[in-house]
Amino acid sequence: MPELEIRKNILKYLHEKGNYVSGGELADKINLKRDELKVHLDFLETKGYLKLNGAVGGISHISAITEKGKKMVENNEFKF
């Protein structure tokens, strides 16, 4: 799956959930290995689309999608 699709799917899922999601849950939902998911989560956090909080087993817990991330999903404008 292309990077853009992966990142788009991550943000859409977080938007649906509303807040806290475990890294394991997200890895299962997006169908990625945890180390692959971590690369995308780090990118999205650096860009300000989500907030990471804590880490278990090398993967962070996602505490929330940010307003910037919500706007991207709601406007269906995925430009990274």
Q: Give the residue extent of every domain in the chain.
A: 3-74
pLDDT value for 59:
61
- 78 touches 72 (CB < 8 A): yes
pLDDT value for 18:
81
pLDDT value for 8:
95
- For 48: left if phi > 0, alpha if psi spans -120 to 50, otherwise beta; the answer is left
Segment 12-22, tens digit of pLDDT: 999 998 877 88
Segment 34-79, tens digit of pLDDT: 889 989 999 999 999 998 886 655 566 676 899 999 999 999 999 8
Architecture, CATH, for domain 3-74? Orthogonal Bundle (1.10)
d(CA 42, CA 38) in angstroms, rounded, equals 6
The reported pTM is: 0.86
